[in-house]
């Protein structure tokens, strides 16, 4: 287990005292009202530089995939009218490096494995405990978005996501987010309203998706299951590099075989 001293070399604990109850309360308040909390300068610039070097070293291992789907991550269904979100085709393209390919001493493991970091996430999410994936691929992913690559509008299957931006592109590659656009708990996919948001590409009078202001080192925690979100196409030669720290609220779970084959091209 990494010590808090090791953690302090990676995370700026002075600016983000993640074990402080008042800091946790502030983050939780923001998260509860906006469905998202973004902490700029969470990872120290020196540690971010190490991560960029690591990412460049591992870029050749990335599995690149392209998915055609709709916002609900199902196949688009043209039998629904144009006004219904289920009929809208969406494209997502990115490359992924998997947990087993991330070196033992990586700062990413220092963050992901840290009990202090997990307790902080639990405090914001109102969870008792968070667990890694049982499969060797899905807990930490280093994602690469090359020029023209994007993640189209979608809702996540997982309740929440934790991301860390490591390298931003010259332009594009923005994370855009509209909170509370469906209600999974009530089995309400809100297809017609979501369809109108798609028609305006998130720039309509009632739903305007402002891009999140994120710089390398920004940690983002968001409720992606009920929030419509996307990553706009990357412009320019510099790759967008983003880490996803994925946790479960129950032990022993693996990502589904179909999802592992789709995103990683293998099962283990
Ligand atoms: O790359 C990002 O910033 C968001 C990632 C995301 O939405 C996803 O992996 O589902
Ligand atoms: Fe997502």
Residue 98 and residue 8: Cα distance in Å, rounded?
A: 25
- pLDDT tens per residue across span 71-103: 999 999 999 999 999 999 999 999 999 999 999
Mutate to test the pocket of ligand 1, among 140, 224, 233, 241 (most ligand atoms within 8 A of CB): 224
pTM of whole model > 0.75? yes
Tell me what the mean pLDDT of segment 50-56 comes to: 97
CA of 75 to the centre of ligand 1 (A): 19
Mutate to test the pocket of ligand 1, among 231, 232, 243, 259 (most ligand atoms within 8 A of CB): 231
Quick check: 219 and 27 in contact, CB under 8 A?
Answer: no
Quick check: 142 and 102 in contact, CB under 8 A?
Answer: yes
151 ligand 1 Cβ < 6 A: yes
Q: Please give the mean pLDDT across all residues of the chain.
A: 95
- Looking up tokens 């990683």, which residue turns up? 264
Quick check: 125 and 212 in contact, CB under 8 A?
Answer: no
pLDDT at 5: 66
Given pLDDT bands bounded at 50, 70 and 90, which one contains residue 254?
very high
Q: Report the nearest atom of ligand 1 relative to the CA of 220.
A: 3
Domain definitions of the chain by residue range: 4-264
pLDDT at 4 over 90: no
Quick check: 234 and 145 in contact, CB under 8 A?
Answer: yes
pLDDT at 3 over 70: no
- pLDDT tens per residue across span 19-33: 999 999 999 999 999
Which residues neighbour ligand 2 (ion) by CB within 5 Å? 156, 224
- Nearest to 256, CA basis, from 97, 63, 73: 73
Say which ligand is closest to the CA of 242: 1
Say which ligand is closest to the CA of 143: 1
What CA–CA distances, in Å, run from 2 to 19, 77, 201? 15, 48, 43
Which architecture, in CATH terms, is 4-264? Sandwich (2.60)
- pLDDT tens per residue across span 133-172: 999 999 999 999 999 999 999 999 999 999 999 999 999 9
């Amino acid at each position: 287990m990494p010590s808090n001293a090791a953690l302090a070399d990676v995370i700026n604990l002075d600016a983000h005292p993640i074990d402080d109850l008042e800091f946790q309360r502030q983050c939780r308040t923001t998260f509860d009202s906006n469905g998202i909390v973004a902490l700029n300068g969470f990872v120290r610039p020196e540690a971010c530089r190490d991560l960029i070097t690591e990412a460049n070293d591992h870029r050749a291992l990335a599995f690149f995939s392209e998915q055609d789907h709709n916002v609900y991550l199902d196949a688009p269904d043209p039998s629904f009218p144009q006004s219904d979100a289920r009929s809208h085709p969406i494209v997502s393209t990115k490359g992924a490096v998997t947990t087993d390919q991330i070196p033992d001493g990586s700062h990413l493991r220092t963050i992901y494995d840290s009990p202090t970091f997990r307790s902080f996430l639990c405090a914001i999410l109102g969870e008792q405990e968070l667990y890694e994936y049982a499969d060797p691929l899905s807990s930490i992913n280093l994602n690469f978005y090359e020029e023209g690559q994007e993640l189209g509008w979608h809702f996540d299957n997982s309740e929440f996501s934790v991301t860390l931006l490591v390298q931003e592109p010259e332009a594009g590659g923005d994370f855009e987010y509209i909170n509370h656009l469906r209600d999974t708990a009530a089995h309400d996919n809100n297809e017609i309203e979501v369809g109108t948001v798609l028609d305006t590409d998130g720039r309509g009078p009632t739903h305007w998706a402002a891009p999140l202001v994120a710089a390398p080192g920004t940690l983002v925690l968001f409720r992606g299951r009920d929030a419509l979100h996307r990553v706009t196409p990357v412009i320019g030669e510099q790759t967008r590099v983003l880490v996803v720290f994925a946790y479960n609220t129950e032990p022993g779970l693996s990502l589904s075989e179909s999802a592992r084959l789709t995103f990683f091209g293998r099962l283990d």
